[in-house]
């Protein structure tokens, strides 16, 4: 389970204020568990973990095995929660450099409207065996709908069995994809009606692309189910502590929560976290603005601002106890190059230990610069641990939304840009 470290929070929060927020978090937790808070009918992401559909998991795994045997590439078409969760898990649990990977390459489309990107994608897949998973409840969201029309026509022009290469993940009954499926006979998976997009990574929305990438979805699911059980009680609950700390700091006038990772594999997870918290909290002119950074890279870009800029932010570090890699700084052996780089003091030290020292130094320096920060520790980067982290943040953001007095499961504001865009495009 995630371990919460908040040594660098205590100096910034009054104990009495923290006690009040902790009590409010316990009440918000009750609303979540009992489904009695705003949007309580949209908490099916908890139900599917409490009562797993093992037949569905095995069906997804079997479909993924078929795709792995037949495909060079799976194009996953979707936007927002329809792709960010899958991308996060695949990035975290796949080799950084594919080389001659034994699993299909999972590529994403439909998450923006760049013609250059889509053109290059269709050029790249020429001559390769391609399958497509299109994910949309309505089938009419503009970005994925455009991408699917283009990719579908490419498949129909290049594969005699195009209809067997397309899997739709959509609403149980309604929507354009259901209508098209009735004509073309595509295989279908259902997006549960009581699960919103940003909470859908452990439904077929995320599980099919993740399984195609060769990741153990049973272990991923089990990790999340373990976290569900561990976070069921309000006492000694790190998800509630995380939500309470963020709420206390927001009330003190902070406006930004910077999620910082020291492992590049977790940057995609940070982008998923960014959507989860942004869409869940950012309503009624409240909420911390979520932003993700990759250290130590970004310590050489925004690091100066974090250290000495406006004091409007807190920081959440997402760290890993054991990376599983023992690479160490080698001894310098080249003649005439003895310690020219000044690294002899690090000879024999593991990169993991050096990275940890970088976190310790950064956390201390940022606290000294009046940036309250806490750290969430993953045991390792594995399907089980990533599953635990997914549920941890889903639980925490639900509690956090209730602390803010908002419905954490809707997103009315995302329609505003669409209205203006469609007006300019002349949509009937």
Q: Could you tell me which residues are beta bridge partners of residue 126?
A: none
Query: Which one of the listed residues 300, 325, 419, 423 is annotated catalytic?
Result: 300
Q: What angle do CA 157, 163, 168 make, to 5 degrees?
A: 120
> Dihedral angle at the C-alpha atoms of 283, 289, 294, 300, nearest 10 degrees?
160
Report the distance separating Cα 107 and Cα 80, nearest Å: 15
What is the CB-side half-sphere exposure of residue 377 using CA atoms within 13 A?
A: 11
Of 167, 112, 191, residue with least CA distance to 144: 112
Indicate the SS3 state at residue 376: strand
DSSP state letter for 241:
H
Burial of 340 (0-12, 13-18, 19+ CB in 10 A): exposed
Q: How far apart are CA 391 and CA 393, in angstroms?
A: 5
> What is the end-to-end Cα distance of the chain in Å, rounded?
51
Residue appearing with tokens 């040594």: 7
Q: Which of 338, 418, 420, 427 is catalytic?
A: 418
Please answer whether residues 307 and 365 qualify as being in contact, where contact means their C-beta atoms are separated by less than 8 angstroms.
yes
Rounded CA separation 125/75 (Å): 9
Give dist(CA 134, CA 44) in Å, integer. Answer: 22
Annotated catalytic, 5? Answer: no
Cα torsion 61, 67, 68, 73: sign: negative
Coil/strand/helix, residue 343: coil
CA atoms within 13 A on the CB side of 176: 13
Question: How do strand 130-135 and strand 166-170 relate by DSSP bridges?
Answer: parallel
Instruction: Please provide the size of the chain in residues.
Output: 428
Cα–Cα distance, 169 to 285 (Å, whole number): 34
Among candidate residues 87, 263, 279, 388, the one labeled active-site is 279
Rounded Cα distance, 261 and 270, in Å: 8
State yes or no: is 279 an active-site residue: yes
d(Cα 216, Cα 211) in Å, to the nearest integer?
7
Strand partners, 319: 377
Q: Which residues are catalytic?
A: 279, 300, 418
């Amino acid at each position: 389970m995630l371990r919460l470290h908040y040594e660098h929070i205590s100096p910034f929060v009054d104990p009495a204020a923290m006690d009040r927020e902790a009590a409010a978090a316990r009440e918000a937790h009750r609303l979540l568990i009992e489904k009695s808070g705003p949007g309580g009918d949209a908490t099916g992401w908890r139900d599917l973990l409490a009562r797993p559909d093992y037949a569905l998991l095995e069906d997804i795994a079997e479909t993924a095995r078929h795709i792995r045997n037949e495909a060079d590439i799976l194009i996953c078409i979707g936007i927002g929660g329809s792709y960010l969760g899958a991308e996060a898990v695949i990035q975290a649990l796949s080799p950084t450099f594919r080389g001659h990977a034994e699993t299909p390459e999972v590529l994403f489309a439909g998450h923006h409207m760049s013609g250059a990107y889509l053109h290059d994608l269709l050029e790249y897949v020429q001559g390769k065996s391609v399958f497509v998973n299109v994910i949309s409840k309505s089938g009419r969201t503009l970005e994925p709908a455009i991408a699917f029309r283009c990719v579908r026509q490419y498949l129909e022009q290049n594969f005699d069995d195009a209809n067997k290469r397309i899997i739709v993940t959509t609403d149980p009954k309604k929507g354009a994809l259901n209508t098209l499926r009735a004509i073309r006979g595509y295989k279908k998976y259902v997006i549960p009606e009581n699960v919103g997009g940003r909470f859908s990574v452990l439904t077929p929305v995320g599980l099919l692309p993740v399984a195609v990438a060769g990741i153990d979805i049973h272990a991923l699911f089990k990790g999340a189910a373990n976290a569900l059980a561990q976070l069921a009680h309000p006492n000694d609950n790190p998800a509630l502590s995380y939500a309470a700390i963020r709420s206390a700091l927001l009330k003190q006038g902070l406006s930004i929560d910077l999620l910082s990772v020291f492992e590049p594999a977790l940057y995609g997870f940070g982008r998923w976290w960014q959507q989860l918290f942004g869409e869940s909290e950012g309503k009624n002119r409240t909420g911390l603005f979520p932003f993700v950074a990759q250290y130590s890279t970004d310590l050489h870009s925004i690091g100066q601002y974090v250290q000495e800029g406006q004091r409007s932010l807190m920081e959440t570090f997402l760290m890993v106890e054991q990376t599983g890699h023992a690479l160490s700084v080698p001894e310098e052996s080249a003649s005439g190059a003895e310690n020219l780089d000044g690294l002899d003091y690090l000879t024999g030290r593991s990169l993991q230990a050096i990275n940890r020292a970088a976190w310790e130094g950064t956390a201390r320096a940022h606290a000294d610069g009046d940036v309250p920060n806490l750290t969430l520790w993953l045991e390792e980067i594995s399907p089980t641990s990533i599953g635990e982290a997914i549920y941890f943040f889903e639980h925490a953001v639900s509690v956090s939304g209730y602390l803010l007095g908002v419905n954490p499961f809707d997103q009315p504001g995302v329609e505003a840009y669409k209205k203006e865009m469609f007006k300019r495009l002349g949509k009937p």
